[in-house]
Amino acid sequence: MTRALVERFGRWVLGWRWAHDEGEIGGGPVGSWCCPRDSITSPDETLAKVATALCEWRAWLEDLAERFDRFRLDSVPDEERQHQWERAAVHLVTHVVDRTGAGDAWYGHCEQVLTWFLARWGVEEATAESLVEEAIGGRFESWTGPEPDVVDDMARRLSLSLTEADGL
């Protein structure tokens, strides 16, 4: 199904199965698809679930794009960039926690969202992945949202790493 969707619509569809909790790909924002065992029923019902999940994923991506643009970095003076990075990180982590319900492995999607945000603003993807992983430092856990002070510390670490990195 995923191959057919990618061929028809493009690579953006790849997350349509990124389900809440312990789904086929767990820890994600999609609530209308779980896994083949629980989601595949009759052909018509299954296709309806796939379509709903695909729409849900697309809406999530569009929501993230709008949120990324709220924290524009291309027009922020250098002296305000670190604060902007930090505010964005806190906002995005909080939003991912809300959307995923902080279920099983939610932090994997959170890392992905933060990496996408950094890449959106010109950070090379491998660098972004490394900086996000280092800033989180294994402090996010399944089935529980992070305490506000942990999110604040992670955001501070990430923003400091970004402002210290060459070319950022």
Spell out the domain ranges in the chain: 2-63, 71-164
pLDDT value of position 152: 97
Residues with Cβ within 8 Å of 146's Cβ and at least 6 positions away in sequence, in order, are 93, 97, 139, 140, 154
* Tokens linked to 50: 């796939």
Is residue 96 within 8 Å of 113, Cβ to Cβ? yes
pLDDT value of position 24: 85
What average pLDDT values come out for the chain (168 residues) when binned by 10 residues?
96 95 90 92 96 97 97 85 93 98 95 97 94 96 96 96 70
pLDDT value of position 22: 85
pLDDT value of position 23: 85
Rounded Cα distance between 109 and 120, Å, is 16
The CB-based long-range contact list for 111-114 (8 Å cut-off, 24+ gap) reads 111/136, 113/64, 114/89, 114/158
Residue by residue, DSSP assigns 60-86 as HHHHHHHHHHHT-SSSS-HHHHHHHHH
pLDDT value of position 75: 81
